[in-house]
């Protein structure tokens, strides 16, 4: 086979001992063999280290460190000299090395079950913005509601030396509760029933909110009220919502019908299927209380697809008051949660714990409000 030759010219950037080198590489391919001849044509300036800054400023390395970290007093003349050299050389402190020395990474971990959920997205806005104000960056972990992933991410965040963790989950298992209770990192839970735990949390009064929404529907004449929720796990807000729903029925002399309680796991497609099952099973409901706005929207979609009118035939109400709730047609009656504030308060609690500041209460309950819109109305006349 005739010898085949061709030349390739590539640029390769190498980092060798802190030097940034530009390499001109000639490649010759002969059959299945590759021959490379590298010819260095430019070596850029060595990466500046704290040692270089100290030498140029005529001070010790520890003095440069004190100026950078503002850890101990340094004379103004010496400080200005060091800062001038840092500006001239473009020196940037190594964040990993700095965190090891200062024992402060300026990172806070956030563990969530579903980043695509609008409810979570609005909470994250509060976490990120307040974190930025206080100089913290966020490491975000998405678990897809998997407990093994939750545990793995918490361990990973610990290895990454985060200073605190904001934790959200759909279902809080006992094994995970025990682990979180004993971990040596400040943790705050969001929307969890933590009255039986020692872990700080931020939430609304889910029991009262569900009670108020159920009473609202009863006052509208509804007695067949379906409940589509996440779960009844003892450590989740779903249990509080169920108890609020149950209390409202009892107070108004309405028997609890287990056939009207279904679990949608916060998914629009799940609530659509649940509503379809109600229709196919000929279970008469005049109102649907979904404990998330997305599940409420899924239920409305199914009703409209099957020829029902909302709210003339069936009223549908939600929970959370995400931005879509006021845009969707019909506008969604829902429980307003201050989602941004929940995230903001959670990370502020973490930062206070990091700085060993006093916290008024480990269990923070923020206010909620029932927002009446077009998706709910009077029960249809028989």
pLDDT exceeds cutoff 70 at 12: no
Number of structural domains found in the chain: 4
Rounded Cα distance, 348 and 350, in Å: 5
Look up the pTM and report it: 0.75
Rounded Cα distance, 377 and 219, in Å: 10
Question: Are 159 and 84 in a shared domain?
Answer: no
Question: Are 95 and 119 in a shared domain?
Answer: no
> Mean pLDDT, to the nearest integer, of 235-241?
81
Residue predicted with more confidence, 173 or 161? 161
Residue pair 76/66 in contact by the 8 Å Cβ criterion: no
Can you give the CATH number for the domain in which 60 is found? 1.10.260.40
Rounded Cα distance, 201 and 368, in Å: 16
Query: Rounded to the nearest 5°, which phi and psi values hold at 315?
Result: -85, 145
Q: What is the pLDDT of residues 109-145, one digit of tens each?
A: 999 999 988 899 999 999 999 999 999 999 999 999 8
Residue pair 111/167 in contact by the 8 Å Cβ criterion: yes
Rounded Cα distance, 72 and 20, in Å: 34
Rounded Cα distance, 327 and 42, in Å: 59
Could you list the residue range(s) of the whole structural domain that residue 149 is in? Answer: 107-204+340-364
Q: Is residue 96 part of a domain?
A: yes
Can you give the CATH number for the domain in which 250 is found? 3.40.50.2300
Q: What is the pLDDT of residues 24-71, one digit of tens each?
A: 344 444 444 444 444 443 434 467 888 888 888 888 888 887 777 666
pLDDT exceeds cutoff 80 at 8: no
Please tell me the predicted confidence (pLDDT) of residue 19.
Answer: 40
Question: Are 174 and 241 in a shared domain?
Answer: no
Question: Are 215 and 310 in a shared domain?
Answer: yes
Rounded Cα distance, 239 and 281, in Å: 26
Looking at residue 105, the DSSP 8-state letter turns out to be -
Question: Are 248 and 330 in a shared domain?
Answer: yes
Q: What is the pLDDT of residues 173-204, one digit of tens each?
A: 778 888 888 888 999 999 876 556 788 999 99
Rounded Cα distance, 354 and 351, in Å: 5
For the chain, the straight-line distance linking the first and the last C-alpha, in angstroms and rounded, comes to: 91
Please tell me the predicted confidence (pLDDT) of residue 244.
Answer: 96
Looking at residue 31, the DSSP 8-state letter turns out to be T
């Amino acid at each position: 086979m005739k010898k085949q030759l061709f030349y390739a010219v590539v640029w390769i950037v190498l980092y060798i001992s802190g030097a940034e080198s530009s390499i001109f590489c000639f490649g010759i391919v002969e059959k299945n063999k590759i021959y490379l001849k590298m010819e260095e044509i430019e070596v850029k300036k060595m990466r500046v280290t704290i040692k270089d800054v100290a030498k140029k400023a005529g001070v010790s390395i520890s003095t440069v460190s004190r100026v950078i970290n503002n850890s101990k007093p340094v004379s103004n003349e010496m400080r200005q000299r060091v800062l001038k050299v840092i500006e001239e050389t473009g020196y940037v402190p190594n964040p990993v090395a700095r965190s090891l020395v200062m024992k402060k990474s300026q990172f806070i971990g956030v563990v969530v079950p579903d980043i695509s959920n609008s409810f979570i997205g609005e909470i994250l806005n509060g976490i990120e913005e307040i974190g930025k104000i206080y100089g913290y960056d966020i490491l975000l972990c998405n678990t897809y509601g998997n407990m093994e992933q939750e545990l793995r991410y918490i361990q990973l965040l610990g290895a990454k030396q985060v200073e605190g963790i904001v934790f959200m989950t759909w279902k809080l298992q006992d094994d995970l509760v025990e682990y979180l209770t004993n971990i040596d990192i400040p943790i705050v839970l969001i929307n969890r029933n933590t009255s039986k735990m020692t872990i700080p949390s931020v939430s609304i009064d889910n029991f009262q909110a569900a009670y108020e929404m159920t009473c609202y529907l009863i006052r509208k004449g509804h007695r067949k009220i379906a409940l589509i929720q996440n779960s009844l796990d003892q450590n989740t807000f779903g249990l509080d919502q169920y108890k609020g729903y149950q209390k409202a029925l009892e107070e108004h002399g309405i028997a609890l019908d287990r056939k009207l309680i279904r679990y949608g796991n916060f998914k629009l497609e799940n609530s659509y299927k649940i509503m379809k099952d109600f229709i196919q099973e000929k279970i008469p409901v005049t109102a649907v209380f979904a404990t998330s706005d997305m599940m409420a929207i899924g239920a409305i979609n199914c009703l409209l697809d099957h020829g029902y009118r909302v709210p003339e035939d069936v009223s549908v109400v939600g929970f959370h008051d995400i931005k879509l709730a006021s845009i969707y047609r019909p506008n969604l009656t829902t429980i307003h949660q201050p989602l941004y504030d929940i995230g903001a308060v959670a990370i502020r609690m973490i930062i206070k714990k990091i700085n060993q500041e006093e916290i008024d209460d480990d269990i923070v309950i923020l206010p909620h409000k029932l927002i009446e819109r077009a998706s709910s109305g009077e029960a249809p006349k028989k």
